[in-house]
A and B are shown apart, each in its own frame.
Chain A
Amino acid sequence: MPIRAPVKDTYRKKSPFTGLLEHMNKVKEGIILLREGVLHYIDGDYEGFHKLAEKLDIIEHEADLIKGNIRAHLPSSVLMSVDKRYFLWVLREEDAILDHAENLAHMLDMRPTKIPIRLKEDFKAHMGLVAETVEEMEKAVENIKHLIETVFSGKERNETKAYIKNVHQKEWEADQKGYEITEKIYKMENNLSPMDEYHLLKMVDWIDDIADHAENVADWLRAIIAR
């Protein structure tokens, strides 16, 4: 091992992509929490959900700080290897995932709605598909370091394209599940209180939104690697 002087670390500027990956790790953590929390909620454990929702708040805040830091260190004088606008859109959409997760958590936390037994499994499956969409997006974003290393060519480019394709697939599946649940809710409308029905429909919508934003991240990534 060569001897390394410690001063070197004090001046090495962090790259915006490192920041992006840090931010993404927060998204990852947040969605794992949200998924766990929503499963608690569906099973009626509102106390357990509340605890996880509070943790999610903290993560969302940390992610905001990272995002602000990346933006603050990207003045117009920085020449990037990718289109800076596209990069900022990736960041914005990635951040929107956590924003929506937080909003959803707050909304659920305000009203402990009983999920009808017939919908429980569907809701769990829907949440699972949305989380998987985000996971596929995470893989695509994680590959960006390899993309930069290989100058956006070769096999890493194809790999990223494959991940992006998976994101679209999962998002589509999540959509289908969402429509299915919505249809079931409408069919049950005579047995539900109007507020319960409103809340359930909103829950489907807002969970689905998260997958939409994950898809947007993938789309902007696709724009970045387009020749």
Chain B
Amino acid sequence: MLTVILIAIAIFAALYMAWNIGANDVANSMATAVGAKALSLRQALIIASILNVCGAVLVGKHVTATIQGSIVDTALLTDHSLVLGFLSALLAAGIFVTFATWKELPVSTTHGVIGGIIGFGLIEGGIDLVKWGSVGTVAASWMLSPVAGAVIAFVTFKIIAYLVFGTKDPLNSAKKIGPVFIALTLFIILMSIFSKTNVGEMLGYTTSEYVLFTTVISLIIGIIGFFIFKNILGEGYDVVESLFRRLQVMTSCYIAFSQGANDVANAIAPVSVVLLLTWGKIDTAYLLLLGGIGISIGITTWGYKVIRTVGGKITVLTNTRGFSIDFGAATVVLIASKLGLPISTSHTVVGAVIGVGLARGLEAVDLSVVKRIVYSWALTLPVTILLAIVIYKALQIIF
């Protein structure tokens, strides 16, 4: 009986966490697109929901293993405390992210889960049980993600400013530069999908094969883009922006897909441990589907909240700016995952907004909102650690 209740709680906790991931992290992919009117809010929510489910179900499998053993030394704990521990970690992270989403702040759901796991590790096994290196990487991400996002977005926007707006005929320049960005963006998207997910394995490609595949496809699409852009009529800066609008939709869709693939683990990995230890068997495919659906519900119910902050409260965006931010974020996430650096997409996107602002690209950036966001990042670990401890103690009394 007790096991059944635990399984029920675990599935509820996973669904709750997935809902939180959807509500908070959807801003990573869609906030700039909505802010720059590349997509309407409704379109963004629908597209993000579908792509998140696809990402989670199709390619979410490989990442679920990483979060389980890397933060606390699970080998030293009993099964019972592990079950309660992962449950409390999930609930702690969920509650924190719910609070952040309610306050419309973009936080890292990954850090929330890490904090929760550290919390029960601390209370159960003491300081030695926690692998502090992983805590260090979380702290490093606060600095690294926004700075890297800012630098790449700054440079991207400066390049657009110089090659497009600095010329005598910005529209004509945009028609020539646009396809180059299409090819580059597609290259980054495909490379990311191959290197961050297991699509490559699924298709049976080796590294050199998918690099070649990615390069060829990007070039072909770039050339097609050149001919499409060439025949676009009209004049003025609105048309320049409309060219970048198409690019922005591309990057937004990609980030939504990879978010589904990577973040679903935050909800599914802990619960799969719980199910394995209580039930003895798990079907990851169903869990991924459950996670994907939970994320979709989160996106459609509360997704607009954080989108509102990043897409409108920090600053007003146009498509060239929005594209620079998205391109910067996607590039940073790709490079970081290649180098094995810990990067949070949420943190990178906020940094990228500042980067474009520093390049004089944004009319006005509200730094007071940014300050609140940074505080919420710094609070993620302490709050989730404490919450997890409290919930773990409570669960111990009950079970």
Contacts and interface: CB of A to CB of B under 8 A. Distances in A.
B312 A75 contact: no
B40 A151 contact: no
Interface in A120-169: 146, 148-155
Nearest to B157: A151
> At the interface, is chain B mostly helix, strand, loop or mixed?
helix
Interface string A1-30: 011110110011101110000000000000
**Interface size class, chain A:** 20 to 34
B40 A3 contact: yes
B316 A13 contact: yes
B353 to A, nearest CB: 10
Contacts of A8: 34, 37, 40-41, 312
B43 interface: yes
B361 A2 contact: no
B40 A5 contact: yes
Contacts of B318: 149
Given A11-B308, A11-B312, A148 B363 contact: yes
B165 A153 contact: yes
Contacts of A82: 360
A155 B169 CA distance: 8
Contacts of A11: 308, 312-313
B364 A15 contact: yes
B165 A149 contact: yes
B371 interface: yes
A79 interface: yes
B285 interface: no
Given A78-B366, A79-B365, A79-B367, A152 B360 contact: yes
A81 B308 CA distance: 22
Interface string B286-311: 00000000000000000010001000
B52 to A, nearest CB: 19
A7 B367 contact: no
A8 B173 CA distance: 31
Contact of A78 (B304, B361, B365): B365
A58 B364 CA distance: 30
B355 to A, nearest CB: 11
Contacts of A7: 41, 304
B237 interface: yes
B367 A153 contact: no
Nearest to A79: B365
Contacts of B360: 81-82, 151-152
Given A2-B39, A5-B41, A146-B237, A151 B364 contact: no
A193 interface: no
A80 interface: yes
Nearest to A84: B364
Nearest to A6: B41
Interface string B149-174: 00000000100011001111010000
A13 B366 CA distance: 10
A3 B42 contact: yes
Interface in B337-386: 354, 357-368, 371
Nearest to B316: A15
A77 interface: yes
Contacts of B354: 79
Interface string B167-184: 110100000000000000
Contact of A12 (B39, B43, B162, B316): B316
Given A7-B41, A8-B34, A154-B167, A149 B366 contact: no
Contacts of A81: 357, 360-364
A211 to B, nearest CB: 29
Q: Find the residue from A5, A11, A75, A146 having the highest chain B CB count within 10 A.
A: A11
Contacts of B368: 75, 77
Nearest to B317: A12
A75 B371 CA distance: 14
A82 B37 CA distance: 24
Contacts of B361: 81, 151
B64 to A, nearest CB: 34
B40 A2 contact: yes
A3 B165 contact: no
Contact of B312 (A4, A13, A80, A153): A13
A8 B304 CA distance: 9
Contacts of B366: 13, 77-78
A140 B37 CA distance: 28
Contacts of A16: 363-364
A75 B370 CA distance: 14
A2 B41 contact: no
Given A5-B42, A149-B165, A152-B360, A13 B313 contact: yes
Contacts of B363: 15-17, 80-81, 148
30 contacts: A2-B39, A2-B40, A3-B40, A4-B41, A5-B40, A8-B34, A8-B37, A11-B312, A11-B313, A15-B316, A16-B363, A74-B364, A77-B366, A77-B368, A78-B364, A78-B366, A79-B362, A79-B365, A81-B363, A146-B237, A150-B170, A150-B237, A151-B161, A151-B360, A151-B361, A153-B161, A153-B162, A153-B165, A153-B166, A154-B170
Interface of B: 34-35, 37, 39-43, 157, 161-162, 165-168, 170, 237, 304, 308, 312-313, 315-316, 318, 354, 357-368, 371
Interface of A: 2-5, 7-8, 11-13, 15-17, 74-75, 77-82, 146, 148-155
